[in-house]
Amino acid sequence: MADLSPTAASVRNASPVGQSIVTDFIAAVAIDAGEGVYINSSGKAALADASAAGTAVCVGVALESVSAGEAVPVLQVGYVEGMGVSAVAYNTIVKVSDTAGAFDNGAGSPTVSCPVGRVMPATDGSLTKLLFVNCLYNMNVVPA
């Protein structure tokens, strides 16, 4: 399994103004910026993990590092910077990893396949690679 290596201090919403969905959830555990989260049976954000269907349904990417019990802003739809995708090919599908909170860079085979987005170019002159997250679909479908 090949996981992305986000830089927590660099993770930020890179979406054009008004073109993203960010929702605050209460953290069940300590969460770092750039980690994927799912909503556990207590209604709190916990680290998404593709090793089991119940924890693989990622609802988004944490935009800040928080402790358990704190509110964590989660990007559900939009572009996120700082995710360590510079070596990943454009248009690669990024999925939840078998490592809690991590994302597979397209080179691995997670136990449960739960896509979270694609590597897409920014509109800057260098076409900087960003992760485009679209987890609203995951809120309606349980991965098989």
Average pLDDT, stretch 114-141? 89
Which range, of 47-51, 86-90, 122-126, averages the lowest pLDDT? Answer: 122-126
Which of 23-27, 122-126, 133-137 is predicted most confidently? 23-27
HSE value, Cβ hemisphere, 13 Å, CA-based, for 86? 8
The pLDDT tens digits of the residues spanning 21-80 come to 999 999 999 999 999 999 999 999 999 999 999 999 999 999 999 999 999 999 999 999
* Rounded distance between C-alpha atoms, residue 86 and residue 25, angstroms: 29
Amino acid of residue 44? K
Query: What letter would DSSP give residue 78?
Result: E
Triad 111, 117, 118: Cα angle to 5°: 110
Per the listing, tokens 């964590």 go with 72
